[in-house]
Structure 1
């Protein structure tokens, strides 16, 4: 992986280059940025840099001065000059100091980014071929299969030392290595890594290969990876033909389904919902965020019956791990919610009422009105609700309203009147009195403490 340092005194230029250039398409990653030559040299003292992209006109230390220092201290680093200067003498000086390319900012348009990086990558390979072993070790297009090792945790950039790799392994990206000969150097199974064999690679160029590895990591690795298998085989053409766009699902609809009680009480519905969720192939980080939110709602819904709150993992390395957590969470709620003296239908109705109470918190819904919504008589609803939910309907409503009010007080700057209305009270003073009775302090004091 080619590690790039961007040096420019204009922050907007640095951020633009970091964000919009297709670095990964050409086996590059931005390792850092600096606003002048001195800071760039300090960065290079403690960080590996392969390619320096620098402006020429900067305060403290100019780009030309920086290039001279780099040539002496870090001769292996290749340099590309990025500047507004069009003077031929600047070009000559930069090239004399070893720059492999010279790019005028005024000519750098978004549609040219790919061409620019392609040219830089080619020049780097050309120069490496004169000075030492080439960056690319395999003749891509002549192999039919490739073995790729993916790090499942990407917190560190120095992951290679944690596992024994074949000597011929090439780093394609941070936490991604590939090689061609599996028989000579087998990798021992490791729960922090996934070993994938990509098949049908004939006539695939390097750019397509890097795109394949990136697309697979982004869209499929999380869902395909099975920790019980030492190696998994993937058809490369199928992966590339799928594209890399996540399908557009209405997340509010998804969340509402997982806030219902159907999946807790009915095995068939649960299995259908979990398979449906997997087929969506949401980005892992998005999936985790959704279920972080859902876990908060489940704990709020079932706080009275759960001996301990449901806890979601900070990170899931695979769908297998996520599904195991989801099944365990379901079993916890189901066991806590199980009341053998009531039918599944009654338990479902009460859970539905708890869910509706959360959704209609800003509305004055009485126990009788809620009973009608879940098709139960008022008296029997009140009896069942207290037994299943652990407290009567009125106390439950007051509790969830105050819990929601606490969240608003901690996480927003909205007025007390606004918060009172959001949790079903039009009178701010009445709400404040109830809040003090329930929590022990007035809303304003609670906000100040938190």
Structure 2
């Protein structure tokens, strides 16, 4: 499927450069028009089918941000990428809040093909999500999987925080279980959520599950879910970006035990490295590298107490190339050397 695109920039040389220097066909993108102002862009959009809009932020008259507001109201399915001369994160964050799916720095076009790949993937993912929503409208809600392992995996995810449909599905999936299994699934999930999220979850969710009905506990979970959601939204990022960051958190925890790097995770969530690092820190209140290190240390604790593997092997499995550095970080985080921790937890 060809993606019809419009370029909006007040500088003719920028428009022509982008139009003729980029191998658009390679990405299934067709540049169907240019506009030198936001007003002319709106005129073009009123007469022509466009799926993707590239727009400068700073233009005479109506700015790119104002154009984004107009587009989001008139053409909610139109996807927008902003063009900027420098990485001004305040402008970029505001554009993403208004619905832009990515950004291009005009002075850094050497990685443009990688960026366009990310944009196309994002467009396809968004189209798939929209198609899924349409299917859901035409069908009755169904329980996802009756297998206990599948339900545990469903509940261990963090998608329930921002995704209403996912939350309803995971509740529906566990409601079919006997009371004992419900409690096991919920408590296991709660422990995983506490480990994955770098901020505190209400302790009463764990305590009250054994003392109250499951349905009452779900009401409490919904209340706390709303509080967590509001906390994340206070970062100023769109729900789409927050979902991507939560996805990265789940990905790191799911693939612990092998060497993870930022490039791999950014590809998984379709974000640039610089923007991913900033948004992760803003949303999760912890840097990406610090969080990944804590995931690895937590896994190291498990390996130290449950296996007899040498410490250098555990260090390597937890992403550390140097055993001495691993021991230094472990002691800084835990207060004991790995060997001391292993011994004290086996006595």
Q: For 1:397, which of 272, 292, 295 is the aligned residue?
A: 292
Separation of aligned partners in 2, 1:270 and 1:290: 14
Q: For 2:158, which of 237, 255, 261 is the aligned residue?
A: 261
Separation of aligned partners in 1, 2:168 and 2:188: 21
Separation of aligned partners in 1, 2:246 and 2:232: 9
Separation of aligned partners in 2, 1:332 and 1:309: 14
The TM-score, its normalising length taken from structure 1, stands at: 0.40
Distance 1:389 1:317, change over 3 A: closer
Q: Residues 164-204 of structure 1, C-alpha deviation per residue, up to 9 Å, x if partnerless? A: xxxxxxxxxxxxxxxxxxxxxxxxxxxxxxxxxxxxxxxxx
> Is this contact kept in 1: 2:330–2:337, CA < 8 A?
yes
Unaligned runs of 5+ in 2: 1-143
Deviation at 1:347, TM superposition (A): 0.2
Determine if the alignment matches structure 1 residue 360 to structure 2 residue 252.
Answer: no
Distance 1:322 1:370, change over 3 A: same
Q: For 2:231, which of 333, 336, 349 is the aligned residue?
A: 336
Q: Which has the higher strand share?
A: 1
> Is this contact kept in 2: 1:295–1:310, CA < 8 A?
no
Q: For 2:169, which of 246, 265, 272 is the aligned residue?
A: 272
Determine if the alignment matches structure 1 residue 299 to structure 2 residue 182.
Answer: no
Determine if the alignment matches structure 1 residue 319 to structure 2 residue 204.
Answer: no
Deviating 4+ runs (over 6 angstroms): none
Q: Residues 340-378 of structure 1, C-alpha deviation per residue, up to 9 Å, x if partnerless? A: 510000000000001101111222222222111101111
> Is this contact kept in 1: 2:158–2:246, CA < 8 A?
yes
Instruction: Indicate the SS of the match to 2:206.
Output: coil
> Is this contact kept in 2: 1:306–1:333, CA < 8 A?
no
Deviation at 1:417, TM superposition (A): 4.2
Q: Residues 303-356 of structure 1, C-alpha deviation per residue, up to 9 Å, x if partnerless? A: 2x3375574135255332332233234234323333351000000000000110
Distance 1:398 1:340, change over 3 A: closer
Distance 1:329 1:438, change over 3 A: same
Distance 1:417 1:411, change over 3 A: same
> Is this contact kept in 1: 2:297–2:330, CA < 8 A?
yes
Distance 1:418 1:329, change over 3 A: farther
Distance 1:316 1:413, change over 3 A: farther
Separation of aligned partners in 2, 1:283 and 1:390: 38
Q: For 1:289, which of 165, 184, 187 is the aligned residue?
A: 184
> Is this contact kept in 1: 2:160–2:166, CA < 8 A?
yes
Tell me the C-alpha RMSD between the 2 structures.
2.8
Q: Residues 206-227 of structure 1, C-alpha deviation per residue, up to 9 Å, x if partnerless? A: xxxxxxxxxxxxxxxxxxxxxx
Separation of aligned partners in 1, 2:216 and 2:169: 18
Deviation at 1:410, TM superposition (A): 4.2
Distance 1:307 1:254, change over 3 A: closer
Separation of aligned partners in 2, 1:272 and 1:385: 27
Structure with greater contact order relative to length (CA < 8 Å, sep ≥ 6): 2
Deviation at 1:400, TM superposition (A): 1.6
- Bigger-Rg structure (1/2): 1
Q: For 2:311, which of 416, 432, 435 is the aligned residue?
A: 416
Separation of aligned partners in 2, 1:300 and 1:248: 25
> Is this contact kept in 2: 1:420–1:428, CA < 8 A?
yes
Q: Residues 118-176 of structure 1, C-alpha deviation per residue, up to 9 Å, x if partnerless? A: xxxxxxxxxxxxxxxxxxxxxxxxxxxxxxxxxxxxxxxxxxxxxxxxxxxxxxxxxxx
Separation of aligned partners in 2, 1:374 and 1:310: 33
Determine if the alignment matches structure 1 residue 249 to structure 2 residue 142.
Answer: no
Determine if the alignment matches structure 1 residue 441 to structure 2 residue 336.
Answer: yes
Distance 1:299 1:414, change over 3 A: same
Q: For 1:385, which of 251, 256, 280 is the aligned residue?
A: 280
- Pairing of 1:145-156 with structure 2 (within 5 A): none
Distance 1:276 1:249, change over 3 A: closer
Q: Which has the higher helix share?
A: 2
> Is this contact kept in 2: 1:306–1:336, CA < 8 A?
no
> Is this contact kept in 2: 1:401–1:423, CA < 8 A?
yes
> Is this contact kept in 1: 2:155–2:185, CA < 8 A?
no
Q: For 2:327, which of 432, 440, 443 is the aligned residue?
A: 432
Q: Residues 233-262 of structure 1, C-alpha deviation per residue, up to 9 Å, x if partnerless? A: xxxxxxxxxxxxxx9833332233223333
> Is this contact kept in 2: 1:436–1:443, CA < 8 A?
yes
Separation of aligned partners in 2, 1:328 and 1:427: 45
